[in-house]
Amino acid sequence: MSGQNGQAPAELLSANNITALFDSVDAFLFDCDGVIWKGDKLIDGVRQTLDVLRSKGKKLIFVTNNSRRSRRQYAHKFHSLGVSVSEDEMFSSSFAAAMYLKVNNFPQENKVYVIGGEGILEELRQAGYTGLGGPEDGEKRVQLKSNCLFEHDKNVGAVVVGLDPHINYYKLQYGTLCIRENPGCLFIATNRDAVGHLTDLQEWPGAGCMVAAMCASTEKEPIVVGKPSTFMMEILSKK
């Protein structure tokens, strides 16, 4: 009996079909926060599971919407937890943001303002772009006084918004002015996740909170490059 669109109906996983299913899969994609680790603690059984998959010749790809780190920094985190993962096996939303600019021929002479972490800035540098903002703007303050004009760089051609524990009014104003006043300035979101497993004991507000603030102030919708966007799925399928 066929299911919708002539496809075979879904079967419950059982001892009778698990081997056939496992053998039919060449690559496994894993989320990281809440799946591989919670905060800086590896989840029980992860190391053994990955070892078994590698011993069977399976390709592993680790995908995360958490943009605070670059691929290099995530590979280092895996190693610090006793798991060997290469940079090429990582696919972060920070990397996806840089890749989006690159595949869409974003001019390298244009700058990128970042509301987010060092991971985005590092991936932008690797792709040949100049990033502004990020953690160093976390301590900056605005002057809400009469006749005080907030200046921003007119050469910013894209604003990338990701998870930013140090988001402030300065960053929101800078990003808003770039998007609203710089002709053709792109508004890119690493993801719209409402919450994330940033520590082992509880969930925390996700990048979606920062993106929502920018949507409100600019009255624009972003280009989303992280899971589950079509862009990320297309890039992953090529890997």
pLDDT of residue 2 exceeding 70, the answer is no
- Look up 164 and say whether it is catalytic: no
Residue 221 lies in a domain: yes
Based on the fold, state whether residues 118 and 75 are members of the same structural domain. no
The domain of 51 spans 17-93+232-238
Residues 134 and 153 in one domain: yes
Q: Which of 23, 26, 51, 153 is catalytic?
A: 26
Residues 138 and 212 in one domain: yes
Can you give the pTM of this predicted structure? 0.90
Least confident of 11-20, 35-44, 79-88: 11-20
Q: What are the pLDDT digits (tens) for 55-99?
A: 999 999 999 999 999 999 999 999 999 999 999 999 999 999 999
Domain count, the chain: 2
**Two tokens at 30?**
């894993």
Q: Are residues 173 and 79 in the same domain?
A: no
77 and 166: one domain?
no
In this prediction, residues 29-46 reach a mean pLDDT of: 94
Q: What number of other Cβ atoms are within 10 A of residue 137's Cβ?
A: 19
Rg (CA), the chain: 20
